[in-house]
Amino acid sequence: MSGSPFDSLTAKVRWKSRLNRWRDALLRPARPSRITPDRSGPPNLLLVGIDTLRADHLGLAGYDLPTSPHLDRLGASGTIFADATAAAPWTLPSFASALTGRMPGLHGGYLSGATRNMDNQPPGRLHDDTTTLSSHLKSLGYKTAAFYSNQFFAFGLAESFDHHVYANRPAGEVARMANEWMRRNADGPFFCFVLLNDPHEPTTPDHEDLAPFLPRLQAQGLATADTALQPYARWGQKPGVELTRAAYPADAATMEAKAIKLAVYDGTIRYVDRVIGDMQRTLEERDLARNTLVSVFSDHGEEFLDHATFAHHWSHDPRGIHGIGHGHSHFQELLHVPWLAWGCGVPAEQRVSHPVSLLDLSPTLLTWLGLPPLPGLDTAATQAGGWATHLIGKSVADQPDSSGRLILSEAIAFGPDLVALRQDNHKLVAHRSGQVLALFDLLADPNETRDCAAEKPEVVLELVAQLSTWSDSKMGATGEQDGSWEDMDDTIRQRLKDLGYSE
């Protein structure tokens, strides 16, 4: 039996990974270890971002399949933010917001225009004057490095690190490079960022990580041979059942295809979980765990026809795709993301249940590290008045529930300028112009199955008023950006095409 049903798709990547390992083995004698576990100074920071991981597919969120035994255990030993919201439903603006504490409209890494379509429109880069977590830690004496497997991290984020490496490799290979860098740079405080892309398409888990999820398919009478699984590396390339053009209402073939794709997706999560468990074990073996803060989060989730009815009714995606993938909507399966931390400075056995934003990630990590806050956030807020404090993050370390806080999301990649405004249990999805699409009560209806706008007009009016203030502040991800994919470097375009982003 081969290592994975998708070996034929990953042969080139595996060959390059072997070359990298051989090269590093040859160079290792010239790169001595600099591990100094008992050094003085601030703690290290290992920050792991997982692309396309929805929170509700982890055991720590109540998922009933074994996707995340290591994260469940490690998160339980530290702090879990059970209700974290991403600032955007796709990679660049969300990661940029997490690492700057600013909404996309303030940092610049987003698509603009009346109707966005990333297939033919590139996003903007981070503004040059935006302070990132890495640039701030560099100024405080940290060595910094990023190892990332999604090219969108290089639109201004990767460049803020001393050392950055793009590697379209499986999680284990990216982690190996990060572990090696930490081994050689642990004589002083370091910040190592690792972006693992495996749950993002193409999804190609091996047999070991797929195995726990196949019995459920078999119980449904579905085939689980390699040939049956291979079409689901991408969104259902099986002839007649391409999920990006799924039948609506969903027929039996569509539901079978969805079940298989979900199993493949879960297999990638289990693989990433296993790799993170191995990284933690490496820290412990090197006696670095006691002086290292580790945090894990995701930039956005993935939609598996969860809201196909709404998608067909609204029909705003210029690609004609309804309810599949990410970047096109503001439903919870895209915006509700995991965020957990453990290690040095992190409160033990704490579960934070009130809503927080990924804008809070960098400010909170700095608090736990005992370091000064990100510079410039207060200035960015005051530029548009007191309301604009909603556009920047805050430290939520050991903070009580902040009732009434407004949590915002914007910057979709496919479709009109849609935004989401959440206050307590209510969430409004609307056009920035004010046209309401739906209001959801996340307490009574966590899966967002029913629009309750007609039942709660006073809530709609309040949130639309907040939206109007946001629009009037001119601090949203709007405007027009010039540029074409043809203007981009060929290498960048090829890397993104490999991930299914651009034509």
Q: Is residue 431 part of a domain?
A: no
Q: Is residue 491 part of a domain?
A: no
Q: Over 70: is that where the pLDDT of 493 sits? A: no
CB 17 within 8 A of CB 170: yes
Q: Over 80: is that where the pLDDT of 503 sits? A: no
Question: Quick one: CA torsion of 368, 146, 159, 43, rounded to 10 degrees?
Answer: 30
Residue range 180-196, pLDDT digits in tens: 999 999 999 999 999 99
Query: What is the structure's pLDDT at 496?
Result: 65
Strand partners, 102: 392
Residue range 151-166, pLDDT digits in tens: 999 999 999 999 999 9
Nearest to 141 by CA among 260, 42, 289, 217: 42
SS3 408: strand
> What residues have CB less than 8 Å from 391, skipping those under 6 apart?
102, 103, 105, 106, 380, 381, 384, 408, 473, 475
Q: Is residue 149 part of a domain?
A: yes
CB 71 within 8 A of CB 296: yes
How buried is 63 (Cβ within 10 angstroms: 0-12 exposed, 13-18 middle, 19+ buried)?
A: middle
Mean pLDDT across the chain = 91
Residue range 227-266, pLDDT digits in tens: 999 999 998 777 667 898 888 999 999 999 999 999 999 9
Q: How many domains is the chain built from?
A: 1
Q: Is residue 439 part of a domain?
A: no
Average pLDDT (323-347) is: 97
CA 71/CA 341 separation, integer angstroms: 10
CB 41 within 8 A of CB 189: yes
Q: Is residue 178 part of a domain?
A: yes
Q: Which of 33-42, 126-135, 261-270, 333-342 has the lowest mean pLDDT?
A: 33-42
Query: What is the structure's pLDDT at 384?
Result: 52
453: left (phi over 0), alpha (psi -120 to 50) or beta: alpha
Nearest to 418 by CA among 474, 478, 463: 478
Assigned token pair, 244: 């990006």
Q: Over 50: is that where the pLDDT of 61 sits? A: yes
Average pLDDT (70-78) is: 98
Q: Is residue 410 part of a domain?
A: no
Radius of gyration of the chain (CA): 22
Q: Over 50: is that where the pLDDT of 1 sits? A: no
Q: Is residue 455 part of a domain?
A: no
CA 205/CA 193 separation, integer angstroms: 23
| Half-sphere exposure for 424 (CA within 13 Å, toward CB) | 7
Query: What is the structure's pLDDT at 380?
Result: 60
Residue range 102-149, pLDDT digits in tens: 999 999 999 988 899 998 888 999 999 999 999 999 999 999 999 999
Residue range 13-23, pLDDT digits in tens: 666 767 776 76
Burial 125-162 (b: 16+ CB within 10 A, else e): bbeeebbbbbbbbbeeebbbbbbbbbbbbbbbbbebbe
Query: What is the structure's pLDDT at 294?
Result: 98
How far, rounded to the nearest angstrom, does the alpha carbon of residue 466 sit from its chain's CA centroid? 26
Assigned token pair, 191: 């910040």
What does the chain come to in residues? 503
CA distances from 372 to 135, 159, 305, 369 (A): 13, 22, 43, 9
Nearest to 405 by CA among 413, 393, 414, 417: 393
CA 220/CA 169 separation, integer angstroms: 33
CA 405/CA 342 separation, integer angstroms: 26
CA 244/CA 311 separation, integer angstroms: 12
Domain of residue 274, CATH code = 3.40.720.10
Domain extent at residue 357: 7-29+38-403
Highest mean pLDDT among 21-30, 326-335, 396-405: 326-335
Q: Is residue 285 part of a domain?
A: yes
